[in-house]
Structure 1
Amino acid sequence: MRRFLAATALLATLGTAHAEVVVRYGISMADIPQTTGQPDRGAGAYQFTGHTIYDPLIAWEMDVAERPGKLVPGLATEWAVDDTDKTKWRLKLREGVKFHDGSAFNADAVVWNFDKVLDEKAPHFDKRQSAQVRTRLPSVKSWRKIDDMTVEITTKEIDSIFPYQLLWFLVSSPTQYEKLGKDWDKFAYQPSGTGPFKLDKFVPRERAELVKNGDYWNKKRIPKADRIILIPISEALNRTNALLAGSVDLIETPAPDAVPQLKRAGMKLVENVTPHVWNYHLSVLPGSPWTDVRLRKALNLAIDRDGVVALMNGLAKPAKGQVDPASPWFGKPTFDIKYDPKAAEKLVNEAGYSKQKPLKTTFVIATGGTGQMLSLPMNEYIQQNLKEIGIEIDFKVVELEQLYTHWRRGAKDEMNAGLTSNNIAYVTSDPLYAIIRFFHSGQAAPVGVNWGFYANPKVDAFIDEAKRTFDPAKQDELMAKAHEQIVDDAALVWVVHDTNPHAMSPKVTKFVQAQHWFQDLTTIGMD
């Protein structure tokens, strides 16, 4: 009887384990992104430890693949600007939402979270989280509680595009922080948000296991998988081999050379239009060669983008500017970004350089990671393109998160001494993230991420006017004029737009790839 009962218990246990739907996800990062509320490692990290454990006040529609998403209610059900003072925004908060620890979400929690990342005098201020989100909230001046379920945010100036900033602000539990002895390091292992997943296990640089929150307030986003295991595999070929070997079920950014092999093995490849650009930010500080517009244009004309796309086995699209020509913010620039090495070499010669007397400088680049696709092979390919016109580039190669630190500090920082360009990639899904924070002179680092200190009064004027208008059509028109000028100035070197490719086992039967760098892991399901 004892043996029978033991066997019955074992079968029951095995049955339960078999019933659990587990997805093993190979992610293109060297480590698990920060789990305390504001992920590090860029926009791509939000899909892993951001919009899984936590929620924003205003969310992005992520469950559609056929069209771009739009702003949708998150922890705030309504938001509106004050008609009498357009620097004030009122947000009505969602009733009945609980944090994972069981405490109630309310206005006090929202104020506490703003203090956490923007008020350095707050006792719970977290420098690490603040570093990730402060530059994403450039307009926020102050915040206050109106009542238990209403907050008011005051912006530094009239900013009609402000709601897009709140996509990046995630809300963690004050109660859990207090319970864990007011220690953010402990909170990282036992985080509490309001999101569709809870963190069950966490081993830095090895794995994070997210389990379904069956009590999640948004019934449309109840996860289809019971458990998602995030496994950092930063090198594309290693990720691809892990999928082929059955060690993982889903990967992002497979090795392009292995695409035919993946298809022969029955793996599915999914990609989509993605507002995401891979480029080089250029320093225009005194002493940088890129103060000369001829050299900036030469860089843009020297790159064989079709060759880069071929290197990616088709998993990219040539860039003609900061945004795609189909974007309402593209406009009609007169400078046509294309592959024209003869024109590029002529401009280099006019600037006083040649193959015999090359311009020599150093760029900082990443080993790989979110949005970087194949950073090293792509950079080496472009390095050869530039050498052919008389520009010789050396690389300072760093891990992705260190690259972001270089980027946020700006070209003036001593960390960037001797560097004239930063190779970066990022989301361009809205006017703030496509244009404003990179090209307005008021967003020069470290205030924003205008890394190279680009400044054009015309661009500033177009952006300022767009922020003062609440007419979307007029906003688009002004942003298009700003983009025209930015391209004509050759402010950056634009290479390709990412298509955010994913490869997955045939066992993964459900996955919605949104037209964004934000992706919703609740849509992933398996047979």
Structure 2
Amino acid sequence: MRAARPKAAIAVVAVAALAVAGCAESERDNEGSGQSTKDTLVFGTAGDPKVLDPSLASDGESLRVARQIFETLVRPEEGGTKVTPGLAESWTPDSTGTVWTFKLRSGVKFHDGTEFNAEAVCVNFNRWYNATGLMQSADVTAYWQDVMGGFAKNEDAELPPSLFKSCTVKDTTTVDLAFTAVSSKIPAALMLPSFSIHSPKALQEFDASNVSGTADDIKYPSYAMEHPTGTGPFKFKAWNVADKTLTIERNEDYWGNKAKLKTLVFRTISDENARKQALRSGDIQGYDLVGPPDVEPLKSEGFNVLTRPAFNILYLAINQKGNPKLADVRVRQAIAYALNRQALVDSKLPPGAEVATQFLPSTVEGWNDQVTKYDYNVQKAKDLLAQAGASNLTLRFHYPTEVTRPYMPGPKDLAELMMADLKAVGINVEAIPLKWTPDYLNATTSGSAHDLHMLGWTGDYGDGYNFIGTFFARQKDEWGFNNPALFEKFAKADSTADAAARYALYKELNADIMEFLPGVPISHSPPALVLGKDVTGVKASPLTDERFATAEFKS
């Protein structure tokens, strides 16, 4: 969640759309005033959502809202990563493993009153598959491209062929999804919010695919800013941009258990201390990304602190294209040995955080205890730099500002520790702080201006490919290397239907990656969210898939 996504999601919104949204009825009543009613919950977020159409979103705050409004064919189990029924009650592959039949729920309606059925599923998949123009930009359809690759007609020669092939309506409640190959991503990836099913009527009425502007100035249609229409337990009410609040309300016609709250408000408070004070004063009844030093104090005050499992990775990326010296594996090894990651974990991350030995959490199948490890060793780092003729190396170290991520609390503090470690072995470091979006994400995931940068990932679903495949399965500007043998092994793993055989390949890939060392895995961190003393019913999710429909105030 990603959501926690490392893609550059440039969400520059049309002024007219923002004006309309900002003037929309806010219905604040007691929101943010410290006088919350028992049917309204105000939740503090670290940033604004960028867009309300999850098909076009890759940032965590947009997807947090989408998870309440929309539903997918399959979804994660509550508080876990296992695939469970969503809008589909069951799903089965054919003998080839390339055609999946989904049996759909009946009696489900979209928020505009239209029927959910097999035809609606195909309208959505065909919308994504037949995307054109800016809809093919990685900044617009990041998750489609991560999972499916390309489109029906790729407009960029570098886009791969599409994994998705076709959608066929068998009857009102039965649909076949066909793919060009067996893939580890199916069906698990279909629980991503980006594969939410939208009302076909609303998609057409509000011209949902009319993304315009330029790659540097993307303008979204009114559907994506004012008219998101799903089947979920909440429906969109208002987005007051000036007031930094987004309001959703209970869907009284929901097919399942109706939300216990009447109104849910997401209020942006970018400063972590300000979020904490707003909770204590009663202006909000919960917030995400609790600072590690605040976990125990908030618990002792009686607040409900929910700690998510550590289903993420913080890493230091090394761009081999940015500096020729970084193409030498000895230099990359020196960087790894130079970092005192245990000290970083102990001093800057929450209880339960641990040093990462690879780019995959130990709870995911394919984790390999036999990978090459790079324990803190200053002398070894210096020796490797000398052997590589890089004793006077100067590197540009990028780190983000104005952001807190589940895997990266206090980016500046983390960066300063790493930079101090690098300087201690003789590496000259040029610190380059940049605003998270769009500056930092643009600078570090494209081009060659960066040498080192911190980034990370929160898993979207419980398969190893979602971590290591996302990073290393194909050539990316973030890392600046080309390794055909590695890419070929990833393709083999992804297309291996037998789970045990696929996990064995993941173990091999983790070993290969840590030998090649395109970057340094730093840590896995259990992020926390907090709710008011009288708020119950929310279960922490490793995927940040918290369900506010079950939230309620204790009487």
Same fold by TM-score greater than 0.5: yes
Q: Which moved more, 1:381-390 or 1:465-474?
A: 465-474
Task: Write the distance in 1 (CA, Å) between the matches of 2:56 and 2:534.
Answer: 29
Indicate if the aligned counterparts of 1:254 and 1:501 stay in contact, CA closer than 8 A: yes
Amino acid of the structure 2 residue aligned with 1:152: D
Q: Deviations over 1:60-105 (max 9, x none)?
A: 11x23xxx4301122222333331x443333333222111001111
Task: Write the distance in 1 (CA, Å) between the matches of 2:74 and 2:113.
Answer: 22
Amino acid of the structure 1 residue aligned with 2:41: V
Which residue does the alignment assign to 2:85? 73
Q: Equivalent residues in 2 for 1:298-313 (5 A)?
A: 298-309=334-345, 310-313=347-350
Q: Which moved more, 1:332-341 or 1:187-196?
A: 332-341
> What is the DSSP-based 3-state SS (H/G/I as helix, E as strand, rest coil) of the residue aligned with 1:360?
strand
Q: Per-residue deviation at 1:158?
A: 2.6
Q: Equivalent residues in 2 for 1:91-240 (5 A)?
A: 91-121=102-132, 129-138=140-149, 140-147=163-170, 148-168=172-192, 169-180=195-206, 185-187=221-223, 188-204=225-241, 206-219=244-257, 222-240=258-276
Indicate if the aligned counterparts of 2:91 and 2:101 stay in contact, CA closer than 8 A: yes
Task: Write the distance in 1 (CA, Å) between the matches of 2:364 and 2:136.
Answer: 38
TM-score (norm 1): 0.83
> What is the DSSP-based 3-state SS (H/G/I as helix, E as strand, rest coil) of the residue aligned with 1:384?
helix
Which residue does the alignment assign to 2:510? 483
Q: Per-residue deviation at 1:128?
A: 6.7
Which residue does the alignment assign to 2:8? none
Indicate if the aligned counterparts of 1:117 and 1:134 stay in contact, CA closer than 8 A: no
> What is the DSSP-based 3-state SS (H/G/I as helix, E as strand, rest coil) of the residue aligned with 1:481?
helix
Which residue does the alignment assign to 1:8? none
> What is the DSSP-based 3-state SS (H/G/I as helix, E as strand, rest coil) of the residue aligned with 1:176?
helix
Indicate if the aligned counterparts of 1:439 and 1:454 stay in contact, CA closer than 8 A: no
Task: Write the distance in 1 (CA, Å) between the matches of 2:530 and 2:337.
Answer: 33
**CA separation of 1:422/1:97 partners in 2, compared to 1, >3 Å: closer, same or farther?**
farther
Task: Write the distance in 2 (CA, Å) between the matches of 1:332 and 1:260.
Answer: 32
Which residue, out of 466, 488, 509, partners 2:536? 509
Task: Write the distance in 1 (CA, Å) between the matches of 2:481 and 2:92.
Answer: 33
Q: Deviations over 1:408-432 (max 9, x none)?
A: xx44xxxx34212442221233223
**CA separation of 1:204/1:185 partners in 2, compared to 1, >3 Å: closer, same or farther?**
farther
**CA separation of 1:489/1:228 partners in 2, compared to 1, >3 Å: closer, same or farther?**
same
CA RMSD of aligned residues (A): 3.0
Which residue does the alignment assign to 2:59? 42
> What is the DSSP-based 3-state SS (H/G/I as helix, E as strand, rest coil) of the residue aligned with 1:349?
helix
Indicate if the aligned counterparts of 1:298 and 1:344 stay in contact, CA closer than 8 A: yes
Q: Which moved more, 1:429-438 or 1:137-146?
A: 137-146
Q: Per-residue deviation at 1:202?
A: 0.9
1:316 aligns with 2:353: yes
Q: Per-residue deviation at 1:472?
A: 1.9
Indicate if the aligned counterparts of 2:97 and 2:497 stay in contact, CA closer than 8 A: no
Task: Write the distance in 1 (CA, Å) between the matches of 2:390 and 2:480.
Answer: 24
Which residue does the alignment assign to 2:217? none
> What is the DSSP-based 3-state SS (H/G/I as helix, E as strand, rest coil) of the residue aligned with 1:347?
helix
1:419 aligns with 2:436: no
Q: Equivalent residues in 2 for 1:276-291 (5 A)?
A: 276-285=312-321, 287-291=323-327
Structure 2 unaligned residues grouped into runs of 5+: 1-28, 150-161, 211-219
Q: Per-residue deviation at 1:439?
A: 1.5
Indicate if the aligned counterparts of 1:58 and 1:76 stay in contact, CA closer than 8 A: yes
**CA separation of 1:282/1:101 partners in 2, compared to 1, >3 Å: closer, same or farther?**
same
Amino acid of the structure 2 residue aligned with 1:387: K
> What is the DSSP-based 3-state SS (H/G/I as helix, E as strand, rest coil) of the residue aligned with 1:51?
helix
1:249 aligns with 2:285: yes
Task: Write the distance in 2 (CA, Å) between the matches of 1:218 and 1:157.
Answer: 34
Amino acid of the structure 2 residue aligned with 1:437: T
Indicate if the aligned counterparts of 2:259 and 2:550 stay in contact, CA closer than 8 A: yes
**CA separation of 1:217/1:280 partners in 2, compared to 1, >3 Å: closer, same or farther?**
farther
Task: Write the distance in 1 (CA, Å) between the matches of 2:313 and 2:181.
Answer: 28
> What is the DSSP-based 3-state SS (H/G/I as helix, E as strand, rest coil) of the residue aligned with 1:145?
strand
Indicate if the aligned counterparts of 1:119 and 1:125 stay in contact, CA closer than 8 A: no
Indicate if the aligned counterparts of 2:315 and 2:523 stay in contact, CA closer than 8 A: yes
Indicate if the aligned counterparts of 1:21 and 1:227 stay in contact, CA closer than 8 A: yes
Indicate if the aligned counterparts of 2:49 and 2:61 stay in contact, CA closer than 8 A: no
Task: Write the distance in 1 (CA, Å) between the matches of 2:175 and 2:319.
Answer: 40
Indicate if the aligned counterparts of 1:275 and 1:517 stay in contact, CA closer than 8 A: no
Q: Per-residue deviation at 1:366?
A: 4.8
Task: Write the distance in 1 (CA, Å) between the matches of 2:82 and 2:306.
Answer: 21
**CA separation of 1:81/1:239 partners in 2, compared to 1, >3 Å: closer, same or farther?**
same
Q: Per-residue deviation at 1:336?
A: 1.2
Q: Deviations over 1:336-373 (max 9, x none)?
A: 1332233223222322233xx24222435353144332
Indicate if the aligned counterparts of 1:39 and 1:45 stay in contact, CA closer than 8 A: no
Indicate if the aligned counterparts of 1:97 and 1:217 stay in contact, CA closer than 8 A: yes
Structure 1 unaligned residues grouped into runs of 5+: 1-12
> What is the DSSP-based 3-state SS (H/G/I as helix, E as strand, rest coil) of the residue aligned with 2:261?
coil
Indicate if the aligned counterparts of 1:439 and 1:455 stay in contact, CA closer than 8 A: no
Which residue does the alignment assign to 2:328? 292
Amino acid of the structure 2 residue aligned with 1:307: A
Q: Per-residue deviation at 1:503?
A: 2.3
Q: Deviations over 1:184-228 (max 9, x none)?
A: 632222321011111112123601112122332233xx4332222
Indicate if the aligned counterparts of 1:32 and 1:204 stay in contact, CA closer than 8 A: no
**Number of residue pairs the alignment of both structures matches:** 490
Q: Deviations over 1:150-188 (max 9, x none)?
A: 333333433243222212211221212334466763222
TM-score (norm 2): 0.80
Indicate if the aligned counterparts of 2:184 and 2:465 stay in contact, CA closer than 8 A: no
Amino acid of the structure 2 residue aligned with 1:312: L
Indicate if the aligned counterparts of 2:71 and 2:231 stay in contact, CA closer than 8 A: yes
Identity over aligned residues, as a percent? 21
Amino acid of the structure 2 residue aligned with 1:154: A
Task: Write the distance in 1 (CA, Å) between the matches of 2:328 and 2:534.
Answer: 54
Task: Write the distance in 1 (CA, Å) between the matches of 2:189 and 2:123.
Answer: 18
Which residue, out of 21, 46, 64, partners 2:39? 21
Which residue does the alignment assign to 1:4? none
Task: Write the distance in 2 (CA, Å) between the matches of 1:200 and 1:286.
Answer: 46
**CA separation of 1:406/1:286 partners in 2, compared to 1, >3 Å: closer, same or farther?**
closer
Which residue does the alignment assign to 2:475? 444
Task: Write the distance in 1 (CA, Å) between the matches of 2:398 and 2:91.
Answer: 42
Which residue, out of 500, 519, 525, partners 1:498? 525
Which residue does the alignment assign to 2:157? none
Amino acid of the structure 2 residue aligned with 1:489: F
Indicate if the aligned counterparts of 2:303 and 2:530 stay in contact, CA closer than 8 A: yes
Task: Write the distance in 2 (CA, Å) between the matches of 1:36 and 1:127.
Answer: 15
> What is the DSSP-based 3-state SS (H/G/I as helix, E as strand, rest coil) of the residue aligned with 1:251?
strand
Indicate if the aligned counterparts of 2:311 and 2:524 stay in contact, CA closer than 8 A: yes
Indicate if the aligned counterparts of 1:116 and 1:122 stay in contact, CA closer than 8 A: no
